[in-house]
Amino acid sequence: MAKITKKKSNRGTANPNIRKGLVGVIADATAVSKVMPETNSLTYRGYAVQDLAAKCSFEEVAYLLLNGNLPNRKQLNTFKKKERSLRRITSAHTQVIAKFPKKAHPMDTIRTAVSYLGTSEVAWGNEAAEVDMERAINMLAKIPTMIATDFRYRNSKKRIAPRSDLTLTENFFHMCFGKVPPKAVVKAFDISLILYAEHSFNASTFTGRVIASTRSDIYSAIVGGIGALKGPLHGGANEAVMDMMKEIGTPERADTWIRGAMKDRKLIMGFGHRVYKQGDSRVPTMKSCLEDLTKWSGDTKWLDIYNILTNIFINEKGIYPNLDFPSGPAYYLMGFPVNLYTPIFVMSRITGWSAHYMEQNANNALIRPLSAYSGKAQRKVSSITERK
Ligand code: COA
């Protein structure tokens, strides 16, 4: 991950109508999720995300986001059966993934692999809802296979075919490492996918909705969403957090490091949020997973660094950690390489993105804001001989 420096804010503008970064702008209504910064809470389709994490599997939450209600047993079984039947990718697709340059970031390869999937049919927007639902489940099922295939190839290993007797989470571990870890690790990963699944009009979802609003197809919207998610101010932060923790190296260095970073006005990855200003609703649940993983692995270093950084940064700056802060070290303890953390986010957010795509499609208005011109005043075109 490239070094991220804090850019000087330049929010002020002579034009009072400009809302730089669309701060505070309500662009549309959504029934998919509700972010409530005043109570540090988040609901998916009306259910508190903590309750979903405690009582549901990622597949149940995926169903909820896509369909609007939690599934009964029969609906869940049908949904799971369908997802499991779609996990395999074609050998042509596998060969495309095998040809990706090894130095490419896995976010670039998953972006390209999803785009390739979109060429498998003549895909247009404005389709019947059932067609988009079919495509959404197809991506939900195949994205883990694409990520794991790329992971195996870039490590010069044979790909491992998906298994249909495993849950989505178990199967991902199986395809990456050839084995499924203990239940506690699988559960922590499943919870991370639930927490990452949806978050209203965040940058990548909004990107997808803009693309949907032009009546483009769902694959194009998801590819756009992946591009937006890659940035370190958004999903890429979970990788940047771990890079930062590795740079700090030991809990003994954490205090001096964070004070130095504050003095140098550095951007501390995994802290701050555009909407939550008093804490991210998802952090306590993910922190508890990090604690479980720390106990399981016996590696206490990352949790110690986590606690030192959060205590100092909250006390000194009043800026709280976001979900990427506990999930970075949690994925590390699960054994994933750092450059797989944001692709894992894609595996999960495909559910929220797809739900938003369908919502936008069902009640569409082209998203096209205005801009205030700040360039040269109108001038004459001179002939080339007159130009200096
Ligand atoms: N480290 C250091 N300072 C931070 C900070 C961080 N992680 N997050 C916010 N701040 C500072 C800002 O620089 C700003 O200070 P200034 O007024 O002196 O310039 C102030 O806090 C207010 O933040 P603001 O820039 O208004 O927040 P935003 O809504 O534009 O940005 C983020 C939100 C997420 C982009 C920002 O907090 C950030 O870059 N965080 C790090 C990346 C990250 O973890 N992203 C994942 C988000 S889920």
How much is the pLDDT for 128? 87
Using a 6 Å cutoff on CB, does residue 163 contact ligand 1? no
Task: Give the right CATH number for 33-232+339-362 from 1.10.580.10, 1.20.58.190, 3.30.700.30, 3.30.450.40.
Answer: 1.10.580.10
Using the mean position of ligand 1's atoms as its centre, give its distance from the Cα of residue 273 in Å.
6
By residue count, the chain amounts to: 388
Using the mean position of ligand 1's atoms as its centre, give its distance from the Cα of residue 324 in Å.
13
Task: Give the right CATH number for 237-334 from 1.10.520.10, 1.20.140.10, 3.40.50.300, 1.10.230.10.
Answer: 1.10.230.10
Using the mean position of ligand 1's atoms as its centre, give its distance from the Cα of residue 354 in Å.
28
pLDDT tens-digit map of 144-199: 999 999 999 999 999 999 999 999 999 999 999 999 999 999 999 999 999 999 99
Torsion over CA of 346, 348, 350 and 352, rounded to 10 degrees?
-130
- C-alpha 13/C-alpha 279 separation (Å) is 29
- C-alpha 278/C-alpha 273 separation (Å) is 9
Which DSSP state fits 179?
S
- C-alpha 74/C-alpha 82 separation (Å) is 12
Using a 6 Å cutoff on CB, does residue 267 contact ligand 1? yes
Residue given tokens 């609003």 in the structure block: 213
Residue nearest to atom 4 of ligand 1 (CA): 267
The model carries a pTM of 0.95
How much is the pLDDT for 125? 72
64-99 as b/e: b if 16+ CB within 10 A? bbbeeebbeeeebeebbeebbebbebeeebbebbee
What average pLDDT does the chain have?
A: 95
Q: Which of 200, 233, 242 to mutate to test the pocket of ligand 1 (most atoms within 8 A of CB)?
A: 233
Active site residue 273: yes
Using a 6 Å cutoff on CB, does residue 237 contact ligand 1? yes
209, amino acid identity: R
How much is the pLDDT for 16? 83
- At residue 163, the 3 state secondary structure works out as coil
How much is the pLDDT for 141? 98
Residue nearest to atom 14 of ligand 1 (CA): 9
> In sequence order, which residues have a C-beta less than 8 Å from that of residue 307 and are 6 or more positions away?
none
pLDDT tens-digit map of 55-98: 999 999 999 999 999 999 999 999 999 999 999 999 999 999 99
Q: Which of 10, 229, 263, 273 to mutate to test the pocket of ligand 1 (most atoms within 8 A of CB)?
A: 273
Q: Where in the chain is the domain with CATH 1.10.230.10?
A: 237-334
- How far is the first Cα of the chain from the last one, in angstroms, to the nearest whole number? 43
Determine whether 362 is exposed, middle or buried from the number of CB atoms within 10 Å of its CB (0-12, 13-18, 19+).
exposed
Which DSSP state fits 321?
B
Q: Where in the chain is the domain with CATH 1.10.580.10?
A: 33-232+339-362
> In sequence order, which residues have a C-beta less than 8 Å from that of residue 170 and are 6 or more positions away?
180, 186
Residue nearest to atom 36 of ligand 1 (CA): 272
Using a 6 Å cutoff on CB, does residue 280 contact ligand 1? no
> In sequence order, which residues have a C-beta less than 8 Å from that of residue 302 and are 6 or more positions away?
245, 290, 294, 329, 332, 333
Using a 6 Å cutoff on CB, does residue 20 contact ligand 1? no
In which residue ranges of the chain is pLDDT below 50?
A: none
Residue nearest to atom 26 of ligand 1 (CA): 274
Catalytic residue chosen out of the listed positions 150, 190, 280, 324: 324
Active site residue 234: no
- C-alpha 22/C-alpha 79 separation (Å) is 37
Residue nearest to atom 39 of ligand 1 (CA): 233
Q: Both tokens of residue 61?
A: 């939450």
Using a 6 Å cutoff on CB, does residue 319 contact ligand 1? yes
